[in-house]
Every structure is written in structure tokens, then in C-alpha cells.
Structure 1
Amino acid sequence: MSYPKPFPLAAPTKGPQQPTFAPDLSVRLICPDCRDPNPNIIEEFGRGDLVCGQCGLVLGDRIVDTRSEWRTFANDEGDDPSRVGAASDPLMEGMEQLDTVIGFKDGGSGIARELQRAASRSQNTRSERNLLSAFRDISTWCDQFSLPKTISDIAKQLYKRSDEEKLLRGKPLDAVIAACIFIACRQAHVPRTFREICNLTHVSKKVLGQCYKALEQAFNLTPGAAAARPGSGVSAVVTGPEDLLIRYCNHLALPANMQAICKDIIVAAREHGIADGRSPVSIAGGAIYFACHLLGHSKPVKDISSVAGVSEGTIKLVYRLYYAEREKLVKKEWIKDGKASLERLPVEQSSK
């Protein structure tokens, strides 16, 4: 994207062209006493003088020290920062990033509080304060959910884009932030379910779904989309039950080989059209329940239900669908190696 230049060129005029002024690069600074064509000019930053190294004549004073303000211990290949201050935040581009903090100690006169109010009004506009508040909420919720900083940054970028485009005007701030975190988890391949996001942010599932649908249409996040809208910076990511297996198995303290077997069962069921139309959470919970009985690692359905966040009846329903087609899902190599046994699978009766 090309940005307009701050000083556009004037329209050409007919007539004699005006002379252009430019610095003469052939001019060199030499000592007027030595007249040496190759002068040895030394900059004494301690005194702020420009001195001839041969005769000691002061050629200039009050020079600016452009070196770093501290001693650096980096090697020759390392960077030597020459200015102080924290690193700039690209998310805060176009806004003031230097903060001034007013102290609380004023001897009980109340001046500090008045200065804090005046500083808060003068430093940032209302939109900038709202953006900073939303960024703080995103960071807090991501920390409570033990999400990495990558997801927090993606959620902040998505919120800033939606705020600039006015996509969710009138929606509650908590719902917008929750939808951004939900999409960021999918983008970073660390998916979280709607139920988990709702429990974290205390946002109703209905409002969260409305905000997600609005962002989904705006940034072309529909499942199966080949590419996102040009310039949106967001790509379509579909969450499958395989993405949820690792976290569920870790919470249930299952062995490492359980994840690979559950994934093979889900893939085989998808190829044969078994349990199609079920939610990824239900399929993941049913596959874990099926694999636990198949390998002899019995886990109560109540524990799987609490980890996956679905009802016990839903998990048993998926299990019955898998049990009916068990010959297609269980590999013969597992039975030959003694890992699996079809006789361990109990017959679940449908509750009517």
C-alpha cells in the first residue's frame, strides 16, 4: 500500500526553471592553521568540541553526542541501541506510546489526583483509551486461560481491525473480545470450544455466536474457504476433533499412544461416514471413550464428559455409532500386536 507523501510536488510551470539547491558534497572541513588536505579532526564528546588532532585548534563547539547513553556488553555482531526507551508496539501505531505516571505522594493535599485526571484527559483520546482497555482485557483473559502470547497478539490485531472497520458496533465489549480470542485460538491451532470461551468470559453463547458470525463474514472465515479476503490478514482455519484430542488426553492422564489411536479411529470414521454431522467435541469424546475400552484403559464416562464439556449421553451415542461399525474402525495390526481387543468393548444400550 502506497502512502501519500507529506509534501506533494507542485505542478510544472512553463518558463525558466528555478535553480535547485542541494548540499555541496565536495566541501571538506580542514584546519585553517594546518591546511592539511587529509585533516585529522577529532570529536571530543566529553567537552562537546571539534578539535584538530595535529595543532589542537578548536574548530567547533556544542556538538551533539550521537552515541549510546549506556555501556554495551554486546559482541561485535550484536546490536548496540543508541537511544533509550522501550520497544515500539506495532499495535499502537499512530498513538502516543510514552506514558507519564503521576505519583500518589502529595502530602495529603489532593494535587496528585487532580494531576492524574488531567494527564488521563490530555494523553489519549476516548477511542485510544477504549482500545488500551480492550487490550488489557485480552491479555488478562489469555493469561487466565493459559494461552500463549501469540494468541493474545492475534486477538489484539483482530480487535483493532474490527474496531477500525466498525464491524461490531453496538455489541458488548466482552462479547467482541471473546469472539476475537476464539478466532485467535483457531488461527494459532490451539482451538477452544464455545463453551470454554463462554465460561472464561461469562458471555452468553448466543451473543458470542452473533459476534463470531459477523467477523466470519467480514474476514471470510467460512469453513472450506480457500483464502481470506485480500488484505484482511486472516485465513480460514477449521477446527476438527483431532485438534482437541491432545488436550483431552492430557487432562485424562492417558498414555501417549492413546492420542494416535484415537486420531486413526476418527479418520477412519470420517472416511466411512460414521457419526457425520456431530460436533467435533462430541466426536473427540466418543473416540476417547471407544479407544479406552478398546485398549483396556477404562475411564469413566463421567470424567470424559467433564473434560470435553458435553453430556454423558452424547458421548455414549457416538460410542454406539462406533461400536456398530467397529470392524471398519479397528485395524488388524492392533489386534495382532495385542494392543486392542474387540471383546473389551461393552455393548451400550440406548436410553429411551
Structure 2
Amino acid sequence: MAYAQPFPARNAQLPQKTFGPDLAVRLVCPDCQDPVPNIREEFGSGDLVCGNCGLVLGDRIVDTRSEWRTFANDEGDDPSRVGAAADPLMEGMEQLDTSISFRDGGSGLARELQRAMAKGAGARAEKGTMTAFREIATMCDQISLTKNIQDVAKQLYKRAEQDKILRGKSMDAAVACVIFIACRQEGVPRTFKEICQLTNVPKKTIGQCYKLLEGHFNLNSNKRPASTTEGPEGLLSRYVNHLDLPVYISTAAKELIKECRNHGVADGRSPISLAGAAIYFTSHLYGQGKPAKEIAEVAGVSDSTIKLVYKLMYKEREKLAGKEALDSGRAVLSRLPAISDK
């Protein structure tokens, strides 16, 4: 059920919870009464035997281990099985498909059968879904996203295809949108601009697809309860890592952004520009200064935008720097690049 409908539509009736057996039940030998039993399975005789006293506790045990058998003409073991594990997302699309041979004795029957199979609407839909799944996997690998995010994106794409929500939208736009939503659902911050650069899809098109999916699915209920993943705090760690800065710069930048909110500094600024300006401020404050141009290349904004937000922070530098850091001598206000207060 989790793979069939991972994103239930609004007003959809959710399945009731089912109850299973208690798996905490332990099998104890009645003679030994050992709280830590030593029960062994003798597959040769099919018995369940106590390893301490030898009492037979059960018979006709089924051997569930892998049975490596070979039917090849060559000598030696053949470790091949029946293929990879079944993928619930595919639902037989490429697991149990039928291939028509080209050998038909020159009658032309094979070609006609292949044409009939290619004209099927189901075959075209399955082929398009498989192509979209490959695109999702490729895009996620390019920006180092985990397989869990790939699966969530594939699930959402499949549900959108089944409900025909993104009808008329290109596959590239749908793939870009589901990757963005999957990142939000799993608490991995990725901005619209990063997804646009990855997929070459305009921001406006991704926004249109997002509104369609948000209007059909209850995305807010599936979203992880993490309030800072979409804000500038969620971007700091990745930006600091790309800039090869110490970890404490990220921590100090988060505290700086928190103080900015408390004092109403740089309100209304985008999370990207705020995160870039915070790194520019704290890196110079702690003697690890990075130029604004280098930070702008990592954040994907112009250096003038970072300097504009930094100017707002510089005016309130004594409030934002933190008294504890200043008293300890680690943070020095004189290291900050001077900007006119006018």
C-alpha cells in the first residue's frame, strides 16, 4: 500500500491500520528453562533441537535458506538466480515483460506482432514511466541525493501519471518538480534555482507543476516536521562545505541568522542571499574570510546581492556578533570589511 499510493489525494479515504502477531514471543526449552535459549535448527533431519540438552522441540522444519543449484553443462557452482529482486515501483513493467523473437522463418509474423505491441497505449505509458524513472535517478545522482529521495520522487511521479495531474506538461518539468518535492519531503534543502540549473526547466514551469501537485495531494501532511530545512539554516552546511570552511563557521552563521530574525535585520530577503551574507560575515569575523564572489558562485547569486545584505548586517554588527564570542577573543569586529554606515 505504501508503494501503491504513497501520496494520498485530498479527501481520499486512508486504509485502516492492521494488527499482526506478536513477534516478541520466545521459544524456551521446557527442560533447561534457560532465559537465553540455545535453539538450533537441524535442517538435515528437519528438527528443532535444544543445543544444551538435545531435546527435540519441533519437527518438519522447512529449510528457507538459498538453494544453490546448477543446471549448466560446465562443472562448478552456478551462483546465478532468477534475476534481481522485484521492484514494487515498476509493477512488472520491465520485470515480467514479453519479448518477441525476430526469428519467424521469413513469414513476417514477428514484425507484425512487434508493431501491434508497440501501438499499445499501455506499452507507451510504461515506456514513458521507465524513461522518467531513469531521468530521476540520473538527476539525483548528479547532485548527490540519496536513493530514498529517488524512491519518493518516483512514487510521486507514478501517482501523478496515474491520476493524470500533469497532463500537457513535459516530462522534464514533471521530473524537476517531483525531485524538488521529494527533497522537501525528506528534509534535504534544494532551492528552485538549483533544480532549474540541474534540469534546464524554467522556474515558472516548475512552480506551475508544483501548484498542481500541491492542489491534488496533501503534501503538507507528508512533509517532515523540520522548520529550518527550507530556510537559510538548511543551506549553510552545504555552502560551508563547498567553500572548505571550518564547521564552526556554519554554527556561527546559524546563530547570526537567528539574531537577525530577533532584531529584524534583513527581513524579506531570500534564504539564499541571507545564507551567503551570513557566511561572508562570519568567515571574516572569525578570521577565515572568503571573498563575496567565491561565495556567490557557490550560492548561485550575484556578489552585489550578498554585499547588499551584508551591509544591513554590518550596521548592526555589535548586536549580531554575539557578546560571548567577542569576549572570548575568537570573534573580532575589526576583521569585518568596512562599509559606510550611511
TM-score by length of structure 1 reads 0.67
Match of residue 70 from structure 1: 67
Residue 221 of structure 2 corresponds to residue 249 of structure 1: no
Given the superposition, is the C-alpha separation of residues 2 and 268 from structure 1 closer, same or farther in structure 2, using an over 3 Å criterion?
Answer: closer
Q: Is the 8 A contact 2:232 2:271 kept in 1?
A: yes
Structure 1 runs not aligned, ≥5 long: 4-65, 73-82, 222-226
Runs of 4 or more, structure 1, over 3 Å off, are: 66-69, 93-96, 99-106, 110-124, 233-238
Pairing partner for 1:340 from 331, 339, 342: 331
Q: Is the 8 A contact 1:186 1:237 kept in 2?
A: no
User: What SS does the corresponding residue of 1:297 show, helix, strand or coil?
Assistant: coil
Q: Is the 8 A contact 2:260 2:320 kept in 1?
A: yes
Residue 255 of structure 2 corresponds to residue 288 of structure 1: no
Q: Is the 8 A contact 1:151 1:185 kept in 2?
A: yes
Match of residue 164 from structure 2: 166
Larger Rg: 1
Match of residue 41 from structure 1: none
User: CA shift at 1:142, angstroms?
Assistant: 1.1
Which stretch shifts more, 86-95 or 319-328? 86-95
Q: Deviations over 1:305-330 (max 9, x none)?
A: 10000111110111111111112211
Q: Is the 8 A contact 2:153 2:181 kept in 1?
A: yes
Output the CA distance in 1 between the equivalents of 2:247 and 2:103: 57
Q: Deviations over 1:42-72 (max 9, x none)?
A: xxxxxxxxxxxxxxxxxxxxxxxx9877339
Pairing partner for 2:139 from 132, 138, 141: 141
Match of residue 57 from structure 1: none
Output the CA distance in 2 between the equivalents of 1:258 and 1:112: 66
For 1:125, the aligned partner's letter is: A
Output the CA distance in 1 between the equivalents of 2:127 and 2:152: 20
Output the CA distance in 1 between the equivalents of 2:163 and 2:224: 18
Match of residue 302 from structure 1: 293
Match of residue 58 from structure 1: none
Q: Is the 8 A contact 1:69 1:84 kept in 2?
A: no
Q: Is the 8 A contact 1:292 1:299 kept in 2?
A: yes
Match of residue 216 from structure 2: 218
Pairing partner for 1:272 from 258, 263, 288: 263
Given the superposition, is the C-alpha separation of residues 343 and 247 from structure 1 closer, same or farther in structure 2, using an over 3 Å criterion?
Answer: same
Which stretch shifts more, 180-189 or 244-253? 180-189
Match of residue 203 from structure 2: 205
For 1:302, the aligned partner's letter is: K
Pairing partner for 1:178 from 176, 179, 186: 176
User: What SS does the corresponding residue of 1:278 show, helix, strand or coil?
Assistant: coil
Q: Deviations over 1:139-190 (max 9, x none)?
A: 1111222211111111111111222222221111111110110111122222
Match of residue 319 from structure 1: 310
User: What SS does the corresponding residue of 2:89 show, helix, strand or coil?
Assistant: helix
Output the CA distance in 2 between the equivalents of 1:175 and 1:149: 21
User: What SS does the corresponding residue of 2:166 show, helix, strand or coil?
Assistant: coil
Q: Is the 8 A contact 1:220 1:236 kept in 2?
A: no
Q: CA RMSD in A?
A: 3.6
Residue 82 of structure 2 corresponds to residue 91 of structure 1: no
Output the CA distance in 2 between the equivalents of 1:342 and 1:295: 9
Match of residue 42 from structure 1: none
User: CA shift at 1:338, angstroms?
Assistant: 1.5
1:106-121 alignment, distance < 5 Å: none
Structure 2 runs not aligned, ≥5 long: 1-13, 17-62, 70-80
Given the superposition, is the C-alpha separation of residues 67 and 291 from structure 1 closer, same or farther in structure 2, using an over 3 Å criterion?
Answer: closer
User: CA shift at 1:86, angstroms?
Assistant: 2.7
Match of residue 190 from structure 1: 188
For 1:155, the aligned partner's letter is: A
For 2:68, the aligned partner's letter is: R
Given the superposition, is the C-alpha separation of residues 202 and 104 from structure 1 closer, same or farther in structure 2, using an over 3 Å criterion?
Answer: farther
For 2:306, the aligned partner's letter is: I
Q: Is the 8 A contact 2:186 2:223 kept in 1?
A: no
Q: Is the 8 A contact 1:168 1:214 kept in 2?
A: yes
Q: Deviations over 1:184-228 (max 9, x none)?
A: 11222221111111111111111112112222333344xxxxx52
Output the CA distance in 1 between the equivalents of 2:261 and 2:102: 63
